[in-house]
Amino acid sequence: MYSAFPEPAYQIAVYREPIYWRERKGRYRLVGSKCKKCGELWWPRRVSEVCPNCHSRDFDEYEFSHEGEVFSFMQDSVPMPLMGMHVYGRDRRIIASVKLKEGVCIFPTEIVDCPLEKVKEGMKVQLVVRKLRRANNGNWLYGYMWTPIRE
């Protein structure tokens, strides 16, 4: 820790529990938005409430499939303290972009339960929910990650 920065770096961004509560559908079930008029899909959910394609204001919740394929990936050489370093340790992580069956890409996300040598572009993956970190009140906060589909 540097004397110019007396507080730990991981306190720069703050996760607030009410935000996690409001976004729980998108975080745990991959719920996004679908325009009723043109059928365009968004993840995360559309918050501006105006479709940029058809200018409609009518949206439905849409639950995306929990399977996709790795579009691109890389190995993270610096662990992120905000994402549960105290839970998963300081190992390097596989950060990926996952393309869902509906065509929507999710980035950044993490590939787990698979060594880097076995990760390939086009590899089929499925959604899993894992612990990220403890909230200020002691409850666990969970988030989505992806694991290879075992065939």
Any domain includes 30: no
Any domain includes 87: yes
Any domain includes 1: no
Helix (H) or strand (E) segment spanning residue 22? helix 17-22
Average confidence (pLDDT) over 38-59: 88
Any domain includes 10: no
Any domain includes 41: no
Indicate the average pLDDT of the chain.
79
Q: How many other β-carbons are positioned within 10 Å of the β-carbon of residue 68?
A: 27
Average confidence (pLDDT) over 26-51: 84
Higher pLDDT, 80 or 39: 39
**What is the chain's alpha carbon radius of gyration, rounded to the nearest angstrom?**
17
Q: Verify cis geometry, omega within 30 degrees of 0, for the bond prior to 108.
A: yes
Contact yes or no for 94/80 (Cβ under 8 A): no
Q: Please write the tens of the pLDDT for every residue from 114-146.
A: 999 999 999 999 999 888 777 777 777 778 899
Q: Which residues lie across from 110 on neighbouring strands?
A: 95
pLDDT at 40 over 80: yes
Q: Could you give the number of structural domains in the chain? A: 1
Average confidence (pLDDT) over 17-28: 62
If pLDDT is split at 50, 70 and 90, which confidence band does 24 have? Answer: low
If pLDDT is split at 50, 70 and 90, which confidence band does 107 have? Answer: confident
Domain range for 125 is 65-148
Higher pLDDT, 85 or 135: 135
What is the C-alpha to C-alpha distance for residues 35 and 55, in angstroms, rounded to an integer?
10
Any domain includes 34: no
Any domain includes 24: no
Residue with tokens 């110019």: 4
What is the C-alpha to C-alpha distance for residues 58 and 66, in angstroms, rounded to an integer?
25
Q: What is the pLDDT of residue 127?
A: 93
Any domain includes 40: no
